[in-house]
Amino acid sequence: MSLKEKIDADIKKAMLAKNQGELLALRALKSMILLAETEKGNKVELDQDTENKLLMKAAKQRKESAEVFGQQGRQDLQEKELLELAVIEKYLPKQLNAEELKERLKAIMEKVGAKTPADLGKVMGVASKELAGLADGKLISETVKSLLS
């Protein structure tokens, strides 16, 4: 079952349960998928990797928006963003914790032969491809920098 089909099924469930917050988040996800499928004359379904990138992007947007609303004292909007984030996270693959991420990055560093901070680009090129969807890019970058210094 593709991500689009899962979201369609969950939209129906949310409609039957009259869960407006979840319904809004699911419709936003479906819209993102449809836009990605139709951009640049694309006529094929999205692959798993592209779907994960879309979900990561949507989750990152919700986190940043929630932070901004929290700083501005807009609790109502912050709660809405956090609810949407929780819905999006249901579809994301399990994220690596800090220890798992360090272990994976150490293995990548050994594979590319990185030892100094000047090798950051080599490590990030491989790590961003291998860990796509499993960890946030910013977190990967910070961890690589700390391991290389």
Phi-psi sector, 10: left (phi>0), alpha (psi -120 to 50), beta: alpha
The position carrying tokens 């796509």 is: 132
Which residue type, as a one-letter code, is found at position 17? A
pLDDT at site 79:
92
Contact 37, 45 (CB under 8 A): yes
- Please state the φ and ψ torsions of residue 19, each to the nearest 5 degrees: -95, 90
The pLDDT assigned to 43 comes to 64
Q: Which domains does the chain show, CATH number per domain? A: 3-89 (1.10.1510.10), 98-148 (1.10.10.410)
pLDDT value at residue 46:
76
User: pLDDT at position 42, please?
Assistant: 67
- All residue ranges of the chain with pLDDT < 50 are none
pTM assigned to the model: 0.73
